[in-house]
Amino acid sequence: MADTGEGFISARRRLLIGAAAAVACAAIPVARAARDVNARSFGARGDGRTDDTAALQAALDAVSPGLVLRIPAGRYVIDALRSLRPRPGSSVFLDEGAVLQAAPDDAERSAIIDLTDVSDVTIRGGRLVGNRDGHGGGGEWGHGIRVLASNRIALSDIVITDCWGDGVYVGARGKAGAATPSRQVRLQRITCSHNRRQGLSITVASDVVVDGCTFVDTIGTPPSSGIDIEPQRQGPARGIRILRSTLSRNDGCGIECSGDVHDLAIVDCVIEGNRTHGILARGVTGVVIRGCTIRRQGRQGLVVARDVHDATLDANDVRDNGTQWHAEPSGKNPRPNVQIDIPPGELHGSGSGQQ
């Protein structure tokens, strides 16, 4: 269990979920208007034609800790190969009608906003639009917001659409065994829609809260899930909380996780109409799934694979899902809603509402 100082959930300590939800709703810092810096003062045009990358970066560089960069309404064209890079301790507030639009490119890797090796950054409001319709190359890593090896990051009230890769990517920098993870990342009221690979990817990270977010219509290249928690061999993902969020109409799963994932909670979420599974859990130690509505997936609503340990399922409404099972069946006939492949001793909770 990750030592986060905030009482992370394990499946055997599920009563802490309520406290976790309260922590997730902690207020994001609000700037005082007298300390705002206006991006237009640095030459940003916001006319939908001018490359505003340099002007906005100059404005970001002028925002010292305690100051806030305010980006007024307008469409700001961004070179996602250079990215916008907020400084540590800074806050960026996008006014209603402010859009950061990625310019066309053919790069495999890019990001409209790049948060690498920074701490205490807050970004709130506005809209980020990727370049999936103007992309001329390969790869799958053109993200809206990329968070690598960063701490205490707060993202809220942002709409992110049409990215070549993920709406938001949270992970580490460095090779396996020496990777620096991201820690204490908060996503509140984020909407990720029509991105190509994932709404949200979480790889090597700890203490990540996703609260009141929406991940819909992901399609283009696999896995095409609403949320994919997939640390692979770079390191573990620990203490992930997905609360009160909606995952719908994604071409893959609503939520999928696989390999070296620890202390995961999925609570009070609505997961409907995804093409494959609602929730697919593999390689997880300590998972709580409680109070979720899981309906009308193309495949099974909830799959807990045989390599999951210490799972708690409580009060989920799982119905009207498909009958095609996951590729690792337990040898039983497929069930249309729930497939549990772990031994009885690893499973806890009432499971009420499951069919």
Question: pLDDT tens, 218-257?
Answer: 999 999 999 999 997 889 999 999 999 999 999 999 999 9
| Selection from 117, 122, 200, 188 nearest residue 154 by Cα | 122
Which residue matches tokens 């690979």? 197
The full length of the chain comes to 355
Cα 355 to Cα 145, 319, 349: the distances in Å are: 38, 6, 15
d(CA 294, CA 10): 22
d(CA 279, CA 317): 13
Torsion angle in degrees (nearest 10) through CA of 229, 163, 143, 158: -80
Global pTM reads: 0.87
Task: Report residue 69 as tokens.
Answer: 């960069």
pLDDT at position 8, please? 36
Contact 37, 68 (CB under 8 A): yes
Q: 266: buried, middle or exposed (CB in 10 Å: 19+, 13-18, 0-12)?
A: buried
pLDDT at position 330, please? 45
pLDDT at position 29, please? 44
How big, in percent rounded to 5, are the helix, strand and coil portions of the chain?
A: 10, 45, 45
Torsion angle in degrees (nearest 10) through CA of 57, 31, 192, 137: 0
Q: 129: buried, middle or exposed (CB in 10 Å: 19+, 13-18, 0-12)?
A: buried
* Residues in Cβ contact with 57 at an 8 Å cutoff, skipping those fewer than 6 apart: 82, 84, 85
Low-confidence ranges of the chain (pLDDT < 50): 1-34, 326-333, 352-353, 355
d(CA 161, CA 133): 11
Task: Report residue 88 as tokens.
Answer: 């540590």
The amino acid that residue 35 corresponds to is R
| Selection from 28, 98, 101, 45 nearest residue 70 by Cα | 98
Contact 135, 168 (CB under 8 A): no
| 43 CA to centre of own chain | 32
What DSSP state is assigned to residue 354?
B
